Structure 1
Amino acid sequence: MKNIYFFGECMIELRSIEESLMRQSFAGDVYNAAVYLKRCFPAINSSIVTSVGQDNLSDKMIGVFAEEEIDTEFVFKHDTKIPGMYLVETDDVGERSFTYWRSDAAARYTMELFNDDAIAKLKCADMFFFSGISLAIIKSELRDSFWQMVWQLKDAGVQIVFDPNYRARLWASVDETKLLYDLALQVSDIVLPGIEDFNSIYGHTSFDHVKTFCKPYNIKELVIKDGPNGVLVIYDGEETFIDILPVENVVDTNSAGDSFNGAYLGSRLTGRSITDAVQLAAKAAGTVIQYPGAIIPKEAFDSIRQ
């Protein structure tokens, strides 16, 4: 069985469904990707690496992980911290805005709870995934231990995967972001940048800008995403461009990139070609944005399940 580990955070999601009424669920970029990978490829072991608390909502969160068949071996329980929470609101065209309560969330302390035995088990993985959000929430004093762990995994033959997924409010400055992203790009085998994210950080506005910027790094598989404008994949120096059919009925763009990542990585883990992987990933993302919330009903994925 193939194994992929998603390092980061799952949060308590509050979503307004009508005036004075909200729905509570659980979501977070790496968790969303883990869920959609598992839904598309049930035979792959999809695991989340994170920390939660000892509280009732943390227990419910772990229960939802189990319902989604997400492996929880590396879900640590912090003695004093609890999960972060956010409120998501969408406008008339499906664009979302967020309000967060996560400044001291349990997931920020995950590296504090690691030990050599845990790292040894992770060395048996096929892939290890982290994102820009994963990096941003790690307590600054724990970042060195994170990089040490990631390099150990890479040296053991684990494919390191990075999605830059940029949220400006999580960073002290753009300079801090650039410093951490440089370290991430140095260690990663697969990188899945969105042009929108790179525009915010570096001022890049095109496939060529991102491709040129990433060229000095030893990235084996570069997957540059530009929403409905297509995807450019550079694998071992060979370029493949795939057109994306725009979705007309956009309800909520939340988790579009996460579902793309999950379906794409699952496809590659199971030996599918780059074109087939992008097409399935685009189909997954196109399905997700037609429903409200980060995690959509399971039955919506019946036609995508592999």
Structure 2
Amino acid sequence: MKVLVTGASGYVGRAVVGALRTAGHEPVAMVRAARAEIDGAAEVREAELLDAEGLRRAVSGVDAVCHLAGLGLARESVADPLPYFRVNTGGTVALLEAMAEEGVLRIVLASTGSIYGSPEVQPMGEWTPDAPPHPYAASKLAAEFAVAAQARTGVLGAVVVRLLNVAGGADPEPTRLIPRVLAAARDGEVLRINGDGGAVRDYLHIADAAAAFAACVERCPEPGVDTRYIIGSGCGTSILDVIAAAERVTGRTVRRIHGPAAPEPGVLIGDPNKAIAELGWRPSHSGIDEIVADTWRALSAR
């Protein structure tokens, strides 16, 4: 299939392009700057999410869309929420309109597990009630509603992918936990930890995330049907577990100090069993040592 990937120049977008190519598809990369080079892309098309004419050109002639473009900083969204609804929600609506005009019948939407908020029952499944804790999550949930509503008119088959914490490789966000821990190991700096280091999260290797998108494209339902998957490892890893993995991988000691605990959930883990059962996919690279080792290789190559 010829598959348009919006946000193809981003961390997950580049990996999705590569996974689609590996799976035998023809990925078309949609980027904001035409000069961007995307490994594995059969073609690069320049378009902005809020440019209706550009979007129509971008989706012309494709069989499916993997929609990953958007804004993704939760804290920023609290301080300045309107751009998140303009881009994440409004941009998705504009894309759906362009797809309808060009007769594109399949979409896979990248969303976020943060929509669930901080549920007491873990792991989180597709049945877990939505409780978006910030404007970023709310804007993605609104985009999900738009995709589902459009699918139910019969003009579209849709899959929503709620991703957990994607990690591994050349992670572009140095403020995230795994890059911070490895930078401390490399530089000998002291790592500051909020609380006792017991907060548990679900880390998903970037390669597993990308493979899930390729599987969703191949199993996208018929027009009139929409479905949703949690894509995570299903495993809980604490901050101290990440530090221990970093010390094993690097052979170095991570010096650390503990500050006051942050107001955050103690445990957030996704249940990927529906995706495993229905997509022919599984998180085969998401052990914490493999994620940390892959990130360490990328960090050491800079």
**How does the TM-score come out when normalised to structure 2?**
0.43
TM-score (norm 1): 0.43
Structure with the greater alpha carbon radius of gyration? 2
